[in-house]
Amino acid sequence: MKNLLRRVASLTLALLTIAACLPAAAEIQPTPKTDDLEITAASVTYLEELDLLVFEQRVKGRAGRTTPTARGGMQGAPVLGYVFPTTLKASDVGFGQVEGIVALAVTSHPDFDDTPLWDEDNDSDYGNDGKIFHTHWVVLAPDERVAGGLAVVEFDLADATVTIAPTNPGMPMYMDSPGFSVLTHGATLKVLVPASRVRGSKRFNFDAVSAYMEVNTEDPKRPLLGVYEVYSVLSGDLSLPYAVKH
């Protein structure tokens, strides 16, 4: 528990101490903030009769209406996300013993599709769904190279000790494409996660964040996928104060 609290404290400090002038990120142009990204409430509810966890965020505007504008390729590709940082362990979601904060991220990125097993728009094309909000497990860690202070933890593809889920989309970072159902209705976004997909974990803490991320495949001074703007943090300080309701 002490190690977990230290990681949360480090993550909080990184998020709140946003770098003011980062030369390497001068070209970054985040998606403009709208009421669709202003979080007003969140919950995770365990439904015993279905053995199901329902992750939910409510926003001031309309959930999922704002999406990024495509830029034509992977380099600089914008990623918009509704994110649930949690106190789950990396091993709970199919990763190894990696340090960081496990988060469920619901993302939209029109320049690429990283869910090859899932056809989110049901058009029989499995490679054209990046813009539709879909789910990822990611492991986040503080990173001073980006203005938002956070990035997805990377690894060496040649490292045989790395453990990732088979639904990793082939990128060298701790990210999974689990294919959970995402439902949006008015101001509410919900994600349906079978408890079996988190090794039966039903008691953990979480927070709710909306953020702009961007893919970087060319600049060695920046991470592969970093957070460049945080639009909203429900707790105000990323302290992960909320618990699963039963």
For 143-201, the pLDDT digits (tens) are: 999 999 999 999 988 888 899 888 888 889 999 999 999 999 999 999 999 999 999 99
The per-residue pLDDT for 55 is 98
Mean pLDDT by 10 residues, the chain (246 residues): 50 46 60 97 98 98 97 94 98 93 96 78 69 94 96 90 87 94 97 97 97 96 97 97 97
What's the pLDDT score for residue 122?
Answer: 74
What is the distance between the alpha carbons of residues 65 and 209, in angstroms, rounded to a whole number?
A: 16
pLDDT of residue 24: 41
Q: Is 33 exposed, middle or buried (0-12, 13-18, 19+ CB in 10 A)?
A: middle
Task: Provide the 8-state DSSP code for 21.
Answer: -
Beta strands in 7-165 (DSSP E): 39-47, 52-59, 78-85, 101-108, 134-142, 150-152
Give the model's pLDDT for residue 25. Answer: 47
Alpha carbon separation from 222 to 75, 82, 246 (Å, rounded): 12, 22, 41
What does the alpha-carbon distance between residue 233 and residue 136 come to, in Å, rounded to a whole number? Answer: 19
Cα-Cα end-to-end distance for the chain: 22
In the structure encoding, which two tokens stand for residue 83, read together? 């994110």
Q: How many residues does the chain have?
A: 246
pLDDT of residue 119: 64
At a CB cut-off of 8 Å and minimum separation 6, what does 35 contact? Answer: 59, 60, 61, 62
Range of 132's domain? 2-243
DSSP assigned state of 30: P
- Could you give the CA distance from residue 13 to residue 71 in angstroms, rounded to a whole number? 32
Q: How many domains does the chain have?
A: 1
